[in-house]
Amino acid sequence: MRYEFMETIKLKKDQSTKSTGIKITGAEAIIHCLLAEGVDLIYGYPGGAIMPVYDELYKFQDKLTHILTRHEQGATHAAQGFARVTGKVGVAMATSGPGATNLVTGLADAQIDSTPIVCITGQVPRHLLGSDAFQETDIIGISTPVTKWNHQITKASEIPEVMAKAFYIAKSGRPGPVLIDITKNAQFEEFEFSYEKCTGVRSYKPVPEPSIKAIEAAAELINSAKKPYIVWGQGVILGKAEEALKAFVEKAGIPAAWTIMGESALPTSHPMNVGMVGMHGNYGPNVLTNECDVLIAIGMRFDDRVTGNLDTYAKQAKIIHFEIDPAEVNKNVAVDIAVLGNAKTTLELILPLINENSHEEWHKEFDKKYKEEFAQVIEKDLHPSKPGLTMGEVIEEINLASEHEAVIVTDVGQHQMAACRYAKFKHSKSNITSGGLGTMGFALPAAIGAKMGAMEREVVAIIGDGGYQMTIQELGVIFQHNIPVKIVVLNNDHLGMVRQWQELFFESRYASTVMTNPDFVKIAEGYHIEAKRVTERKDLKTVVQEMIASKNPYFLEVRVEKEDNVFPMIPSGASVSEIRLK
């Protein structure tokens, strides 16, 4: 019965409403705007100031499914998970005051990871604005630094234009979160509704015009390079440039590494894919950043977790930056050539200008570094000889059982680094993680959104015992709607990454990182979710296989080694060349 419900979600069609000449309320208008934008699924939590909209949601439940998360933060992360897996705009709704402030973490996460979501909040009636009314909070002021755009609607007639603009802004150019705050009087007011999709905002240019001169200069530099090296980011996925990137790297024969936000844009097994950059990235991709002669950055923003110390980052190299957001160019790293535009467009433009090459000798250096890393780190992580279970071997079992088909959703911390390092992907949009903000509690609700956005795909949430408890209440959503996500908690009874830093940089003073955890299996069972615990290696494979084979939600707790560290590691503030293997 509950499963049928999930099926119905997929059947809903975009039933946009054209001008009717009939007056409707602002609340009903909001529903029609959502339908017109092709929205059939939203996450949220009702409350006083948004009740008129919820009343309309009740009437429109055959067209628009609302999922009641157990906390508004969960609604934003679920909307993010949906957006990341589908490429569409995720929608979350909340009431005024605390409902609205609970959205802030999700907005900030979506802002820094360029995720298109639209959040709708109720607000006290216009005549009470500024009076410190019950559940009044200045959510426009609060959300300004963490939104791409926000706007308060105080009369119903503004609703269609503002909603259209919200969706346009959220998904165009470099995507991001938009918050629309709607006073209660505007929800009650009646007006003549008509809807027109937004096709442009005069003060906003979402995609800069690519410069042919820059592309030609970039091509010349790439063609003359002896040791060219690509680092790509999420811009490839957001720009739907996966095929263009593949064609580019294959023709040019250039080793290509990814930031965690860009992971899965090229299959893990692709011969040009040399792995992950950054603090816990692969050895070769980090060290060789400081040995390449041309660094080609594509849709990435030189985050400090990627670059380490900027004073010693790729100083020997000429740098080309393919980027959609002009504000990112020369922000952290000064570049020699900026190729502005959508990554798909610019990569397709440069492809015919690129000479075929294979750079075999240069690739061998990556192979050599990989062998070193394999011997010192990877083998011990994936095939440990010690009794305690490692995070890496759990990821590897998930790889094997899911045949690299799964969407992997992670939180932040050691488990995230293990998952990003060792998960293998065949398809794009498969690695969903809180990259820029590093939000604990992201994974469980994001996995709900990811699953509902891609019902045909296996979705596995991999979470640490700390982050899991930040949004554990969303198990209620999984139970209520029988959303068949697989939840793997890698439990080391610690806030593992902070503990690792304390061990390495604070003389093992474990300040508030040791946790006494509850019985996670019982908690899952309390939500009627099938649950198992693995404490020994001999059980791991069978249970992971059983989990992947299950058609229902499934919870798996794996008791991993308590004080394992994630390596390699670039210590904070060190250079990419100073990456440590132990």
Partner 1 sequence: MKKQWFTISVYSENNVGLLNRISGIFLKRHINVESLNVSKSEIEHVSKFTIVVNTTEDWTRKIVAQIEKQIEVIKAFYHRDDETIYQESALFKIASHLLFDERQIQNIIKESNSQIVTVSRDFFVLAKTGRRHEIDEMHDALEPFGIMQFVRSGRITVTKAEMPITAMLEDFYQDK
**By the criterion CB under 8 A, which residues form the site for partner 1?**
140-141, 144-145, 148-152, 169, 199-204, 325-327, 329-331
Does 197 participate in catalysis according to the annotation?
A: no
Tokens 């160019």: give the residue. 329
Shortest Å distance, C-beta 165 to partner 1: 9
Shortest Å distance, C-beta 440 to partner 1: 23
Does 184 participate in catalysis according to the annotation?
A: yes
Nearer to partner 1 (CB atom), residue 200 or residue 518: 200
Nearer to partner 1 (CB atom), residue 209 or residue 356: 209
Nearer to partner 1 (CB atom), residue 204 or residue 505: 204
Shortest Å distance, C-beta 250 to partner 1: 34
Identify any residues that bridge with 461 across adjacent strands, giving them in sequence order: 409, 487
Shortest Å distance, C-beta 208 to partner 1: 11
Cα distance between residue 206 and residue 168, in whole Å: 10
CB 218 within 8 A of CB 319: no
Does 240 participate in catalysis according to the annotation?
A: no
The full 3-state SS of 53-120, as one line of letters, equals HHHHHHHCCCCCEEEECCCHHHHHHHHHHHHHHHCCCEEEEECCCHHHHCCHHHHHHHHHCCCCEEEE
Among candidate residues 272, 391, 417, 497, the one labeled active-site is 497
- 247-286 b/e with 16+ CB inside 10 Å = b? ebbbebbbbbbbbbbbbbbbbbeeebbbbbbbbbbbbbbb
Nearer to partner 1 (CB atom), residue 40 or residue 109: 109
Among candidate residues 28, 56, 72, 557, the one labeled active-site is 72
Nearer to partner 1 (CB atom), residue 206 or residue 384: 206
Cα distance between residue 99 and residue 137, in whole Å: 10
Does 391 participate in catalysis according to the annotation?
A: no
Q: Per the structure block, which two tokens stand in for 476?
A: 């209620």
Identify any residues that bridge with 575 across adjacent strands, giving them in sequence order: 308
Q: What is the DSSP string of 375-431?
A: IIIIHHHHS--SSS--HHHHHHHHHHHHTT--EEEE-SSHHHHHHHHH---SSSS-E
Among candidate residues 148, 184, 227, 486, the one labeled active-site is 184
Nearer to partner 1 (CB atom), residue 161 or residue 250: 161
Does 135 participate in catalysis according to the annotation?
A: yes
Among candidate residues 10, 18, 61, 134, the one labeled active-site is 134
Tokens 């009437």: give the residue. 59
Nearer to partner 1 (CB atom), residue 158 or residue 365: 158
Closest C-alpha to 451, from 488, 406, 496, 420: 406
Tokens 């080609």: give the residue. 296
Shortest Å distance, C-beta 206 to partner 1: 10
Shortest Å distance, C-beta 148 to partner 1: 7
Q: At what angle do helices 159-171 and 26-36 cross, to 10 degrees?
A: 30
Specify the 3-state DSSP secondary structure of 373: helix
Shortest Å distance, C-beta 126 to partner 1: 14
Cα distance between residue 531 and residue 313, in whole Å: 46
Among candidate residues 135, 376, 473, 480, the one labeled active-site is 135
Active site residues: 72, 134-135, 184, 497
